Amino acid sequence: MKLKRVTEIMTEYPLDTIEQGLSIQHAANIMKERGRGSLVVLDNKKPIGIITERDIVRRVVAEGRDLNIKVKDVMSTPLITVGPEATVEVAAKIMYENGIRRLPVVENDNLLGIVTATDFVKHMLKEKKDSMLLAMARFKYIEELNK
């Protein structure tokens, strides 16, 4: 069986991103409006970090910091990435070893996409259609598979 590449399961660019100099309030509003749990942080179109809901809760809200603080002061960095040639298995290992749920796919400082834990579940459901996996999956992804 041929190993799948991350490019086969990732969410492709353009992704939801934010420039590092904007406020956390702005980032939170983008996440809310677009239904996203994270934004890749850019510096002149180069991916340099990621800001997640967890970062905002732990580093801003829980510490009582001002919502006008800059994204660059709260984002997770250094940005852990994978290249487009990486297999799904390699990406999963990187995510597991680093305790992350989102892995940007980058080549030559260009953001190509992002692989998320949800992408892995969708991939596994398509490949296996295992009843235990189906029981754990979100209903909307099961509907997608049945189309």
The pTM assigned to this predicted structure is 0.81
Helix, strand or coil for residue 90?
helix
Tokens, residue 145: 């598979």
User: What string of DSSP letters covers 39-87?
Assistant: EEEEETTEEEEEEEHHHHIIIIITTT--TTSBGGGTSB-SPP-B-TT-B
pLDDT tens across 111-143, in order?
Answer: 999 999 888 888 777 776 555 555 555 555 545
pLDDT tens across 80-109, in order?
Answer: 999 999 999 999 999 999 999 999 999 999
Query: What are the boundaries of each domain within the chain?
Result: 6-116
Query: 6-116: what CATH class?
Result: alpha beta
